[in-house]
Amino acid sequence: MPTVYDVPPDALIAKLAEYLKQQFPEIRPPDWSLYVKTSSDRERPPADRDWWYVRCASVLRKVYIHGPLSVKDLRSEYGGRARKRVAPAHHVRSGSSIVRHVLHQLEAVGLIEKTPKGRVITSKGRSILDAISTEIFKEMVKADPSSPIKRVLAGS
């Protein structure tokens, strides 16, 4: 069965964001999400109106692959390069409020759980990600039947 490691991240995150938006009414952007920047190195808020669901999907994928993760780890992942006027550019972490709210919402619906070492994915979250990955993998095989992926499927 194909997993998160076997599909492109952009396709997985887009499909997972739509799934989270439709299936879990508990996951919704806070009122302030229309006006907030995602990091201090950004100049403007995100242009996409559904950026909250994309961030939730991205965090869920990162916890699946790299977990257990803490808020500090995720802040570093979503940070960027702050360009100062005269001084050299340095990496800055993103704001912790977005990361914390996303993690709380994913915990509330039972997709991740908190452990002493950080957040880890639950079996429910793992099964959702694996099901969406399998769906994307099958679409990839249909789109290009001559690809080497077809041989991987035949062997499994």
Is pLDDT of 132 > 80? yes
Which architecture characterizes domain 4-155 according to CATH? Orthogonal Bundle (1.10)
Is pLDDT of 85 > 80? no
Is pLDDT of 25 > 70? yes
pLDDT of residue 36: 81
Handedness of CA 70, 94, 63, 30 (dihedral sign): positive
Q: What mean pLDDT is reported for the chain? A: 84
Three-state helix/strand/coil letters over 12-53: HHHHHHHHHHHHCCCCCCCHHHHCCCCECCCCCCCCCCCHHH
